[in-house]
């Protein structure tokens, strides 16, 4: 019986709290609902999506950031435990990069849903990606690739169309734990003046000097479109649809929190022309923005793997992971190139924060927010047939929120004049931070609960 393996990674090896891979969750649900045995490959158990009913098994694997060779050896040894066809799917940019790099080696044991290394090299680095796109006549925004601070300072005074945005050349570099203090969870930083541009660059360059400077195309989020598709080994499309972004968080250069399927022939035509020109194969998301000044769709980026909003495609009638699985394990399926428009995807946990910020700015009422969620909609995390990822993440978030409230309250309490106290660990509690109790001194009073802070 064929098995689907979904490879994910750990961006922060020191993290002790759980995260949520919405891409891996969408892939597992798509295939699991079709009866496919889904095995997750992850370096730890610290991911709420692993609690999905559609995750048949977890294989704790080496993290390729620690050793690519160890992960490669692990995948090759895994073959003995899973007979039959094996399909290997990446759940992130860096996993797609790893699978492309070792695609030829892994292809003896797995059907790898990722492009060849030569194609990946043209995609993963934005400078190479844009150069290839330009060579094919694909419109791109005004973009520069400075090598250092000297070039940034010289460029800042010459630019004419502020604001501009500073973004990474390799997108997943900013999602690593080592860059979170610099990136702040954003895809880029806008600069409204030469001084802003220099200041942002100097701060970002402390962690990543490989950046691009790009014009900010005007217009609201609704002008951002994404082609979601799957192309076979001959770069022929076996399924695709288009989505339009409705909200994102953070509001400036954040991640999508609400989107809906729509029809746009230009996005389809330009996306297929670009992907086939590159010789791409695999699951993909190509993002475009419609420039209100020129009426031209300009390329923002190619994601050489399933994207965060991948669950929208099956909900709209184009089940991309299933089409990829069928293509890799048997006769190719008939192409699916029509889809239901107006189907929405939300990441409700983050969309609430986006709506809150828009409401504060007077750009969205709560009634308008509720109305925007109406109609057929699939959520990134919650699903009636698979509730555990949501339940686990909800109670984890609730616990963190209550902990923060207790901490603020303890800091706000006036200090009483008491005799010196001693701190002793409370062995009845389990936790990474450690619970500490204040023991009573000579003056009587109620003991206070405290948390040791890192």
Residues 20-73 pLDDT 10s: 999 999 999 999 999 999 999 999 999 999 999 999 999 999 998 889 999 999
Q: Residue 111: is its pLDDT beyond 70?
A: yes
- Dihedral sign for Cα atoms in the order 357, 194, 222, 289: negative
Give the pLDDT mean for 75-79. Answer: 97
CATH class of 142-215: alpha beta
Q: Report the distance separating Cα 279 and Cα 236, nearest Å.
A: 9
Give the pLDDT mean for 285-302. Answer: 96
Query: What is 3-114's CATH topology?
Result: Rossmann fold (3.40.50)
More confident: 181 or 229? 229
Q: What is the pLDDT of residues 359-374, one digit of tens each?
A: 999 999 999 999 999 9
pLDDT at 180: 62
pLDDT at 55: 97
Q: Residue 404: is its pLDDT beyond 90?
A: no
pLDDT at 206: 81
Backbone angles phi, psi at 344, to 5 degrees: -110, 150
pLDDT at 409: 85
pLDDT at 442: 33
pLDDT band at 179; cut points 50, 70, 90: low
Please provide the CATH number assigned to the domain covering 227-381.
Answer: 3.30.470.20
Q: Residue 3: is its pLDDT beyond 70?
A: yes
Strand pairing partners for 285?
A: 228, 303
Q: Residue 422: is its pLDDT beyond 70?
A: no
Q: In the sheet that 297-303 helps form, which strands lie side by side, from edge to edge?
A: 297-303, 282-290, 224-231, 237-249, 255-262, 344-346, 377-379
The answer to whether 3-114 and 142-215 have equal CATH topology is: no
pLDDT band at 178; cut points 50, 70, 90: low
Give the pLDDT mean for 119-136. Answer: 95
More confident: 439 or 118? 118
For the chain, the 3-state helix, strand and coil shares in percent, each to the nearest 5, are 35, 20, 40
State percent of the chain over pLDDT 90. Answer: 73
Coil, helix or strand at residue 438: strand
Which residue in this structure is represented by tokens 């066809």? 85
pLDDT band at 1; cut points 50, 70, 90: confident
Q: Report the distance separating Cα 189 and Cα 186, nearest Å.
A: 7
Q: What is the pLDDT of residues 303-349, one digit of tens each?
A: 999 999 999 999 999 999 999 999 999 998 999 999 999 999 999 99
Backbone angles phi, psi at 244, to 5 degrees: -120, 130
State the Rg of the chain over Cα. Answer: 24
Strands 57-60 and 435-438: unpaired
The separation between CA 284 and the C-alpha centre of its own chain, rounded to angstroms, equals 13
Which among 16, 4, 274 is positioned nearest to 132, based on CA atoms?
A: 274
pLDDT at 414: 65
Q: Residue 282: is its pLDDT beyond 70?
A: yes
Tokens of 231: 């192309």
Q: Residue 5: is its pLDDT beyond 50?
A: yes
Q: Residue 444: is its pLDDT beyond 50?
A: no
Mean pLDDT of the chain: 88
Residue pair 343/370 in contact (Cβ under 8 Å)? The answer is no
pTM: 0.85
pLDDT at 185: 62
Domain boundaries, the chain: 3-114, 142-215, 227-381, 417-454
Which residue in this structure is represented by tokens 């009636």? 384
Q: What is the pLDDT of residues 138-175, one digit of tens each?
A: 999 999 999 999 999 999 999 998 999 999 888 776 66
Q: Report the distance separating Cα 313 and Cα 391, nearest Å.
A: 24
- Dihedral sign for Cα atoms in the order 120, 327, 325, 62: negative
Tokens of 147: 């090598």
């Amino acid at each position: 019986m064929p098995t689907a393996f979904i490879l994910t990674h750990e961006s922060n090896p020191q993290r002790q709290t759980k995260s949520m891979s919405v891409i891996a969750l969408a892939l597992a649900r798509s295939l699991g609902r079709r009866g496919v045995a889904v095995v997750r490959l992850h370096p730890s158990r610290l991911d709420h999506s692993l609690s999905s009913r559609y995750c048949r098994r977890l294989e704790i694997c080496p993290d390729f950031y620690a050793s690519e060779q160890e992960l490669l050896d692990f995948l090759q040894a895994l073959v003995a435990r899973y007979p039959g066809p094996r399909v290997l799917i990446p759940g992130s940019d860096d996993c797609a990069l790893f699978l492309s790099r070792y695609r030829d080696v892994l292809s003896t044991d797995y059907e790898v849903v990722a492009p060849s290394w030569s194609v990946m090299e043209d995609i993963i680095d934005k400078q190479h990606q844009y150069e290839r796109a330009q060579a094919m006549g694909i419109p791109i925004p005004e973009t520069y690739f400075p090598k250092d601070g000297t070039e940034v300072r010289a460029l800042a005074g010459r630019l004419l169309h502020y604001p501009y945005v500073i973004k990474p050349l390799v997108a997943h570099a900013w999602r690593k734990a080592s860059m979170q203090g610099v990136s702040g969870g954003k895809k880029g930083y806008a600069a409204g003046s030469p001084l802003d541009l220099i200041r942002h660059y100097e701060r970002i360059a402390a962690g990543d000097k490989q950046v691009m400077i790009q014009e900010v195309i005007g217009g609201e989020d609704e002008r951002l479109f994404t082609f979601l598709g799957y192309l076979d080994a001959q770069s022929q499309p076996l399924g695709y649809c288009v989505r339009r972004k409705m909200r994102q968080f953070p509001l400036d250069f954040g991640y999508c929190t609400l989107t809906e399927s729509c029809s746009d022939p230009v996005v389809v035509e330009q996306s297929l022309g670009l992907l086939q020109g590159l010789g791409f194969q695999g699951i993909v998301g190509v993002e475009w923005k419609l420039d209100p000044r020129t009426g031209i769709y300009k390329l923002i980026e190619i994601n050489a793997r399933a994207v965060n909003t991948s669950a929208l495609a099956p909900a709209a009638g184009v089940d991309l992971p299933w089409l990829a699985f069928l293509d890799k394990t048997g006769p190719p399926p008939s192409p699916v190139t029509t889809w239901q428009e107006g189907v929405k995807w939300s990441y409700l946990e983050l969309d609430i924060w986006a709506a809150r910020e828009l409401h504060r700015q007077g750009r969205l009422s709560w009634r308008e927010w509720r109305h925007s969620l109406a109609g057929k909609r699939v959520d990134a995390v919650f699903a009636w047939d698979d509730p555990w990822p949501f339940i686990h993440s909800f109670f984890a978030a609730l616990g963190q929120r209550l902990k923060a409230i207790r901490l603020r309250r303890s800091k706000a309490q006036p200090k009483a004049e008491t005799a010196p106290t001693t701190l002793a660990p409370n062995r009845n509690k389990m936790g990474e931070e450690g619970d500490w109790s204040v023991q009573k001194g000579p003056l009587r009073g109620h003991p206070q609960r405290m948390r040791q802070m890192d």
